[in-house]
Structure 1
Amino acid sequence: MKKLVLLLIILTLASPALAGTRVLMTTSLGTITLDLDEARAPETVKNFLAYADAGFYDGTIFHRVIKGFMIQGGGFDTALKRKATRPPIRNEAGNGLENVRGTIAMARTNVVDSATSQFFINLVDNDFLNHRGNDARGFGYAVFGKVVDGMDIVDRIARVPTEQRGGPFANLPRQQVVIKSIRRAE
């Protein structure tokens, strides 16, 4: 009996930490499963889930696709109209999570604390987006989760042909990639 208890303790300690909230991002090209890191990015995850739970992302598009860099969405509908958002959140880029391939991070303007609904998924390791300091130039972009299934879908989105339309549509997919829904996994 002691050996069984010891084995259970060892297995418990050796197993990876419990994942945060898992969400399914259903797109017109397939489904992407994400694990969100509530422990290291609590405000960012809370913000993302508030938008997801309200159905905000339903019918939005990936409006910026840059092969070898990232795919960005969560702000514009299929008519290319910017959706009204909640107030910006505090940037949690100093949380120790890095912008590596397959991570999801918040998009923002040049203002450090300006992220609202838009996010991006890194296609490669983008070290230059990591937190390097507390000034505006070095603050970085807050990673808050990672793709755990469907990276093939992310890569498929990255390969869609794009066009230049100016403004936020400098790398707009010619054929829309629609986010049908983002929901918590059961």
Structure 2
Amino acid sequence: MPSNEQRRETAKRKLERQLENRAERARKRKQMTIAYSAAGVVAVVAVVAGLVWFTNRDDNSTDNTAADTSTSEQSAGVMPAGRSTPLADTVSCSYPTDGGAASKPNNPPRTEGVPTTAPDATPSISIETTQGNIGLNLDGTLSPCTVNSFVSLAEQGYFNDTSCHRLVTGSGLQILQCGDPTGTGTGGPGYGFANEFPTDQYSESDPALTSAVTYPRGTIAMANSGAPGSNGSQFFLVYGDSQLPPNYTVFGTIDETGIATIEKVAAGGDDGSMSAGGGKPNTPIDIKTVRID
């Protein structure tokens, strides 16, 4: 039989093991608590950052801008596949003056009998730039009033000899923005018009309007200031899947030659000069002419 001394030694070793195990469990609980707390902080920061990108705009600014929402990339939803209900064969459009002077002389587009079916509503556009050609296929079956305005301005030479003033190369927003004769992001044609697809596929109170959806690579969309009816002449060309609230009117697609031209410019980066994200392209790109094919 074990002696009292042996029993005491066995009991001592058992107690030491118990204390060591208890300390190890406490250490692991502390590590897990720190890890969960850190994850919670990161999640809160990401949500706040995303909201700041969506809402931190000067309501008095005329800068027509697609906000950088790259922090919301993981939660982006899916762009509606198309209109829930087809439009009538023709629609009426409204282009009221926006209270500012036109950055370049132009006449407002027609307002009646605007087509919504091919081929009249789906013209092909050739943009000649200093960095290469960009082909566009406009889609008036989705956004007829937007296509009507773009074609009207193109036919008047409004976009000729203008610069693409903003480039964004973030992982969640990859765009080249053009259409402002002043090259500052504040110019326009002197009139405005309402958002169309995909904005009009949501009710005005739908919370999805403040959530990000993916604007696919190759999309053409209108820039705006965030205020109703603030579309004008500025548009952006999406060269990589981008996350934005569905408040920017989609009105066509870019061909692969155009994507290659934009990617060449994007490879040079931007100067980071714009508070909403991105800046002027380090590789300047100017629009020489815009032709309706």
Out of 114, 121, 133, the position equivalent to 2:237 is 121
- What are the equivalent positions in structure 2 for 1:89-168 lying under 5 Å apart? 89-94=193-198, 99-130=215-246, 140-150=247-257, 151-166=259-274
Answer yes or no: is the 8 Å Cα contact 1:21–1:35 preserved in 2.
yes
Task: Compute the displacement of 1:110 (Å).
Answer: 1.4
Unaligned runs of 5+ in 2: 1-117, 202-213
> Is 1:76 aligned with 2:208?
no
Give the Cα–Cα distance (whole angstroms) in 1 for the partners of residues 161 and 186 of structure 2: 12
Give the Cα–Cα distance (whole angstroms) in 2 for the partners of residues 162 and 156 of structure 1: 12
Match of 2:105 in 1: none
Unaligned runs of 5+ in 1: 1-16, 131-139
Taking structure 1 as reference, are residues 37 and 177 closer, same or farther at Cα in structure 2, changes over 3 Å only? same
Residue by residue, what CA displacement relative to the aligned partner does 1:50-69 show, whole Å, maximum 9, x if unpaired? Answer: 11111011111111101141
Out of 143, 149, 169, the position equivalent to 1:67 is 169
Amino acid at match of 2:217: R
Residue by residue, what CA displacement relative to the aligned partner does 1:82-130 show, whole Å, maximum 9, x if unpaired? Answer: 655131111103367x721001000000113201000001122224333
Out of 71, 88, 100, the position equivalent to 2:192 is 88
The structure with the greater share of residues assigned to helix is: 2
Instruction: Tell me the SS of whatever aligns to 1:76.
Output: coil
Match of 2:159 in 1: 57
Give the Cα–Cα distance (whole angstroms) in 2 for the partners of residues 166 and 177 of structure 1: 17
Task: Compute the displacement of 1:81 (Å).
Answer: 8.9
Would you say how many aligned residue pairs link Structure 1 and Structure 2? 158
Identity in percent: 28
Amino acid at match of 1:179: I
Give the Cα–Cα distance (whole angstroms) in 2 for the partners of residues 124 and 63 of structure 1: 18
Match of 2:92 in 1: none
Taking structure 1 as reference, are residues 168 and 125 closer, same or farther at Cα in structure 2, changes over 3 Å only? closer
Give the Cα–Cα distance (whole angstroms) in 1 for the partners of residues 274 and 244 of structure 2: 24
The structure with the greater share of residues assigned to strand is: 1
Root-mean-square deviation (CA, aligned residues, Å) is 2.5
Give the Cα–Cα distance (whole angstroms) in 2 for the partners of residues 53 and 90 of structure 1: 21
Q: Considering only CA atoms, is the larger Rg found in Structure 1 or Structure 2?
A: 2
Taking structure 1 as reference, are residues 76 and 174 closer, same or farther at Cα in structure 2, changes over 3 Å only? farther
